[in-house]
Amino acid sequence: EPEVTQTPSHQVTQMGQEVILRCVPISNHLYFYWYRQILGQKVEFLVSFYNNEISEKSEIFDDQFSVERPDGSNFTLKIRSTKLEDSAMYFCASSEALNGYTFGSGTRLTVV
Amino acid sequence: DQQVKQNSPSLSVQEGRISILNCDYTNSMFDYFLWYKKYPAEGPTFLISISSIKDKNEDGRFTVFLNKSAKHLSLHIVPSQPGDSAVYFCAASAHGRDTGKLIFGQGTTLQVKP
């Protein structure tokens, strides 16, 4: 069964450093998403991406965040200057249409 | 932002019995609802969905019921199995937004005891 692949599975970074979280969506999917889950809290929408542009972003997705699809297969989330409160599980997801998401296994980001 | 609420943080059920997980929503624009299951250190896995034009959808042991007037949906698992022990998330979307954004509830941890 096709999978959404996320790397790395765990990233530890110093506060103020830039991090790039990587995702390989399912190949024929057209819609891409990033969500995050702070420990013990709900899964929160960050951003959706379609046709090489952001289609919607949440209040969380401020100027510190950016997304990119640098080639035909990768979808990345960059956090420019990490803060302690950015520590969370970050999930990438993709879908062929506007439902039926497939989520990746997540990247656990720890900011120290 | 409490548009989707799962008021029971946990549920414990005996193997073979029915598990009923509940979810309430406030946004009348939601027209598509999903249930996801999540194990620790894994991403959410899609279980079952329902469109607002239906009131029931069934897939094997899983049935989702939607009561639009009450803005309430529930997931029934019968019979429950120990492997069903996980966190269950209800999620909703408004297709009219054309972005696929999902709003998740807080999750309910289901424990199925052998």
For residue A17, what pLDDT is reported? 97
Please tell me if residue A61 touches chain B, with a CB cutoff of 8 Å. Answer: no
What are the strands, taking DSSP E only, across chain B? Answer: 4-5, 10-14, 19-25, 32-38, 45-51, 56-59, 62-67, 72-77, 86-93, 103-104, 108-113
Chain A: closest CA distance from residue B44 (Å): 6
Report the residue from B43, B49, B101 with minimal CB separation from A56: B101
Q: How confident is the model at residue A99 (pLDDT cuts 50, 70, 90)?
A: low
B40 cis-preceded (ω within 30 degrees of 0): no
Q: Cβ-count burial of B105 within 10 angstroms (0-12 exposed, 13-18 middle, 19+ buried)?
A: buried
For residue A1, what pLDDT is reported? 77
Please report, for residues A81, B46, B84, the alpha-carbon distance to residue B6 in angstroms, rounded to integers and kept in the order given.
Answer: 34, 17, 18
CB contact under 8 A, B97 and A102: no
CB contact under 8 A, A100 and B44: no
Residues of B in contact with A41 (CB under 8 A): 106
CB contact under 8 A, B100 and A48: yes
Above 80 in pLDDT, residue A72?
Answer: no
Give the residue from A103, A94, A90, A4 showing the smallest Cα distance to A39: A90
Give the pLDDT mean for A31-40: 93
Q: What are phi and psi of B16, to 5 degrees?
A: 95, -20
**pLDDT in tens for each of the 114 residues of chain B?**
579 999 999 999 999 999 999 999 999 999 999 999 999 888 999 999 999 999 999 999 999 999 999 999 999 999 999 999 999 999 999 876 566 789 999 999 999 999
For residue B98, what pLDDT is reported? 64
For residue B35, what pLDDT is reported? 96
Query: By CA distance, what is A5's nearest residue in B?
Result: B43
H or E stretch covering A110: strand A107-111
Question: B65 vs A30, which has greater pLDDT?
Answer: B65
CB contact under 8 A, A106 and B98: no
Q: Are B80 and B12 in contact (CB under 8 A)?
A: no
For residue B96, what pLDDT is reported? 60
Residue percentage of chain A with pLDDT more than 70: 98
